[in-house]
Amino acid sequence: MLQIIPTVLEKNFDLVEERLEKIGGLSRWIQIDVIDGKFSYGKSFELELLNRLEKDLKRELLLDIHLMVKEPIKWIGKCNFVDANRLIGQVEMMGDRNDFVNMVKDNNMEVGLAFDIETKIEGVLPKDLDVVLLLARKSGFENFNFDEKIWEKLKKLKELRQTKSLKFKIGIDGGVGLEKVEKLEKMGVDIIYSGRNYIKIINDQNN
């Protein structure tokens, strides 16, 4: 069944709290996007501030942290500190993928790898991956449009998953509008991550 997960990308923590209030109880899973100013332009709020969330709210959430940072492996401790449930690291500024995957697993969290729109799907895909995330536009704060190149990448990723008998879920993030959801689901996408279009997509799915 297709899962729709709301995303939060903010520089100011007050806006994070505001976003979570708007989402309400629509989804237990929430993706928090983290940008360090090195991987991509701009810098998101300090991750540790998530521990300031009301205890009842935080207890209800399952945190999916998308690390758009240099050397995601160095952020595992911070993510563990805020009780993250899943870490997804961008491969572009990552050292050894196996080291990242193994360390996240050692900290009892789900793990994923993310590929920017211009990054080819090649190299190691560790067998313990829970998620592979494809970005349908360039990562960062800028609002780029959905890039149609994603369809060929999605097809290749599905083939890799099948030929190597891997079990990871396929996620798509970046500019996904209502008009793309049905095709993405038919193409075998398991998770759609959505920011500004989340409420529209959820309402459409429930009708």
Tell which residue, 32, 35, 88, has the closest CA to residue 58. Answer: 32
Mean pLDDT of all residues in 173-177? 89
Q: Which amino acid is at 188?
A: G
Strand 3-8 to 191-194 pairing: parallel
pLDDT 10s digits, 110-145:
999 999 999 999 888 999 999 999 999 887 766 678
Tokens of 143: 């609002």
Full DSSP string of the chain: --EEEEEE--SSHHHHHHHHHHHTTS-SEEEEEEE-SSSSSS----GGGGGGS-HHHHHH-EEEEEEESSSGGGGHHHHHHTT-SEEEEESTT-S-HHHHHHHHHHTT-EEEEEE-TTS---S---TT-SEEEEESS--SSS-PPPPTTHHHHHHHHHHHHHHTT---EEEEESS--HHHHHHHHHTT--EEEESTTHHHHHHHHH-
Domains annotated for the chain, with CATH where assigned, are: 3-206 (3.20.20.70)
For the residues 13-24, what does the mean pLDDT come to?
87
Structure-block tokens of residue 6: 């709301």
pTM of the model: 0.94
Residue 142, pLDDT score = 63
